[in-house]
Amino acid sequence: MVILVARSVIVGALQRLDKANDDRSFLQTLARKLEPEEADGFLEGVRSAQKNSGTGAARRLVHTELANAEKHLPVMRSAALGKPVLKRYEMSGLVTAVKAESKKISVYNEDIPGFLKPRDMEYEVRVQTTLSNIKVGDTIHATLLSDNEEIWVLEDPVVTGHP
């Protein structure tokens, strides 16, 4: 939890530095100590850039770090709220088992580049009525929602071929 607090403080400080209208206000903001100590330690890199390469270099570093941090804000917010971050992937595969009572099917999925190699896995199906149309041996296409740890849900599976 300390890490999330530090990240939040760092992002706030970067936003204030990025919005500084002139060098004087930038330097005043940069000189302020941050709590927790981990957050202040992060700003040491910006302070060092300012000292060694000038205020312009420090401003560029702030802008780059802020852009990078903002890319990760949704993940940080979800983590802070204890919510998993789900990503969506299009997937196709061969149905190897149907378990209508538990709303699950097993699928030998095709490669999902950069995410999941071909393998046989069990997935929860979001809408159970869909399961009545799916049989072992069918090929399907669906949207996979996953946190890459515990959540593996298929949305809108469509039969694309029968045995």
According to the model, what pLDDT value does residue 119 have? 95
Q: All domains of the chain, ordered by start, with CATH?
A: 2-81 (no CATH), 87-161 (2.40.50.320)
**Closest C-alpha to 42, from 61, 22, 70, 28:** 61
Contact yes or no for 87/97 (Cβ under 8 A) = no
Cα angle at 73 between 67 and 78, to 5 degrees?
170
19-64 pLDDT per residue, tens: 999 999 999 999 999 888 878 888 898 999 999 999 999 999 998 9
Contact yes or no for 29/62 (Cβ under 8 A) = no
- Report pTM: 0.51
